[in-house]
Every structure is written in C-alpha cells, then in structure tokens.
C-alpha cells in the first residue's frame, strides 16, 4: 500500500509534536517534511528529546513550493493570523490542508474580524469544512481545506450537542464551565504557565465573555438548534500538563423529564462513534482517563433541586482537542478508517 506524503507546518510546538507522534504510526501516511520557523535547521530529537531514537530528521524552514513538491496534504499547527497566509500559499499549489488554528473556523468574516482582526484571506473561508467528525463527517469526505475545531469548543459541543439536537435542553441559557491543562497555552514560555505561578493554584482567565472560543461555540450551537445562542463561558487553568474537563449547565425544556431520556439521547448520538465513550450513570469523566489519546468520555446527569441538566466531557486538549482530531479529519477526508493512527489507548496513570 502506497503511503500519502504529509507535511507538518508549525512542527516545533506541542500540537506539532503530537501530530508527528501520531503520524509516525499511521499506516497510510509518510511524513514528508516537518517545517518550523523557530527551530529550522535543528534535529527533531534536539527540539523534542522524547523522540530521540525514533525520528532522525531535521526541522526545515517553510517553503510553499518545496512542501507542494513533496506532500499531498499539510497539517498546519500555527497561531491564528500566521496560519492563513501559509494555508493560502499551499492551497494555491494544490495541497490539501488541515488547519489547527482559528483562521478558518468561523464562517462569518465579520465575526472573525470582531474577535481576531481582519482576516488575511477571507476568500478561503467559504471553502473550509469545520472539522468535528461527529457532526460533519459527510462534508469532510474529499474536503481540501479543513478547520480543526478548538479544544474548548470540542469538549463543549461533544457534551451538549446530543441534548440540544434532541430538543431536550434550551439553547438560550447555557453555562459552559471548562478547565484546561497548561499545554493549551502553547510551548512559548509565559509567566501564567510558569510552574511556581501555576503549580499550586487554579484560576479563571479571559472571563466575562472575553474568550475567543465563544463565537465558535455559539456558531455551532446555532447550526444545531437555530437562533442566535449566547453562552456564559468561563475557562480555567489547572496545574496539569494536558487535558480538558468541561461541564455545560443547561435548562431542560421539560422540568420533570426522567434522566433516562437524556442518557438515551447521548447513547444514540454516540453509539457508532469510535472515539466517544458514554460512561455509566453516576460516573464522572476524568481527564486522567483520556490522556494521550483521541478519546472523549461524556456523561449527563440531572440536578432536580436546581432544575438543571449537567452535560460533561473530558478530552486530551492535544489529542481530541487538537492533533488527534486533525488526523481524524484527515482520515475522514481521504475515506480511510477514522481510527488509523489513533487506535492507541490512553496513557494511565
């Protein structure tokens, strides 16, 4: 079986390293190039010592023509704003792209401009497919430009989408409470994720409707239920390296509905999904149980006293929240089994 040549662009960060780790064991892919500005010319084993003895190659500077000559697909793990020009150059040369930045997630250029600034290449937005396979699998088949979802939106949508789609909860009164490990902030050193600053506490950040994932979550909620939903979204930094736990607090459309109805909706939505596990009643998802994988653990319960439904999800922010999901999207786009390269179980403890 011939392998498809794939390039990783932005290979010196955590998502780039995770992409490389996954693709090295992918049965249908050959890593043709690993590109990065910051570490160009360095050996990958020096940039990422955990790959010493596994990868014997050098990080290359990005050149669109060179990548196009060697790769059919590029996975871009670059920051928003920096990614769009790279994606445009690759698409111009016929390279299919899975983009892990925010640059093509929002379908409305005005919404992008409001939250991120003017879009560098708005002409490409309409051709991008939002890469949540559990909702857009059919659109992903054959897609040439895929926008991999953000980590927080992935966890929130996997938690609440089945209930919202079934009409069991209201879409106009959702509270999204999420906790993430420090790797979500990237590999660039910063005071907020410096161990003495972050290691013994937990803190909310970008509160009061300031986080840029809000329009992405609301966009996808609107696609499920219509209208113009507004969420309260509060992210937190917790002292761990990787993982996201999200709890969505929702108002039921019928107050006395039995909990079994909510569980039935979630079970039905994910019965055939290879990476989603609906936990038994009473068991709460735990980031420790999905670490290092593309898996998601979800569950739902009812708080009768408060009249709320709690929809919960745990993922690895570098797995199902980023690089694992990007590879799942690649598999779906090419018509391969979505588990290719992603079938390793979580790492525990």
Residues classed as catalytic: 151
Between the alpha carbon of residue 96 and those of residues 39, 53, 72, 219, 309, the distances in Å are 24, 30, 6, 24, 40
Tokens representing 277 are: 């596990």
Distance CA 114, CA 118 (A): 8
Distance CA 178, CA 185 (A): 14
10 Å CB burial of residue 90 (0-12, 13-18, 19+) is buried
**Main-chain phi, psi angles of 186, to 5 degrees:** 90, 180
Handedness of CA 142, 147, 153, 155 (dihedral sign): positive
Torsion of CA 266, 272, 273, 278, to 10 degrees: 40
Three-state SS at 124? helix
**CA neighbor of 98 nearest in space, from 147, 171, 41:** 147
Tokens representing 215 are: 């329009």
């Amino acid at each position: 079986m011939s392998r498809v040549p794939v390039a990783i662009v932005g290979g010196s960060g955590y998502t780039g390293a995770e992409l490389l780790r996954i693709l090295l064991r992918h049965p249908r892919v050959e890593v043709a190039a690993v590109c990065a500005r910051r570490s160009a010319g360095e050996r990958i084993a020096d940039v990422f010592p955990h790959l010493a003895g596994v990868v014997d190659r050098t990080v290359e500077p990005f050149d669109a023509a060179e990548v196009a000559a060697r790769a059919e697909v590029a996975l871009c793990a670059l920051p928003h704003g920096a990614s769009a020009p790279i994606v445009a150059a690759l698409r111009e040369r016929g390279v299919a792209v899975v983009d892990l930045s925010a640059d093509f997630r929002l379908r409305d250029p005005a919404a992008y401009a409001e939250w991120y600034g003017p879009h560098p290449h708005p002409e490409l937005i309409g051709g991008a497919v939002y890469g949540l396979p559990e909702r857009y699998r059919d659109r992903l088949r054959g897609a040439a430009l895929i926008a991999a979802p953000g980590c927080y939106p992935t966890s929130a949508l996997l938690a609440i989408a089945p209930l919202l789609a079934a009409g069991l909860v209201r879409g106009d009164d959702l509270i999204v409470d999420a906790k993430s490990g420090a790797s979500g902030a990237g590999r660039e050193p910063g005071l907020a994720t410096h161990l003495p600053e972050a290691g013994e506490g937990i803190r909310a950040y970008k509160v009061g409707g300031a986080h840029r994932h809000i329009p992405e979550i609301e966009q996808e909620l609107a696609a499920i239920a219509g209208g113009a939903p507004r969420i309260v979204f509060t992210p937190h930094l917790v002292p761990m390296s990787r993982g996201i736990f999200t709890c969505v607090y929702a108002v039921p459309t019928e107050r006395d509905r039995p909990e079994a109805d909510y569980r039935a909706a979630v079970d039905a939505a994910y019965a055939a999904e290879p990476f989603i596990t609906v936990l038994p009643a009473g068991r709460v998802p735990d980031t420790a149980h999905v670490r290092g994988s593309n898996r998601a653990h979800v569950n739902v319960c009812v708080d009768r006293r408060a009249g709320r439904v709690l929809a919960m999800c745990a993922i690895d922010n570098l797995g199902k929240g980023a690089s694992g999901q990007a590879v799942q999207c690649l598999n779906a786009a090419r018509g391969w089994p979505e588990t290719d390269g992603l079938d390793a179980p979580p790492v525990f403890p």
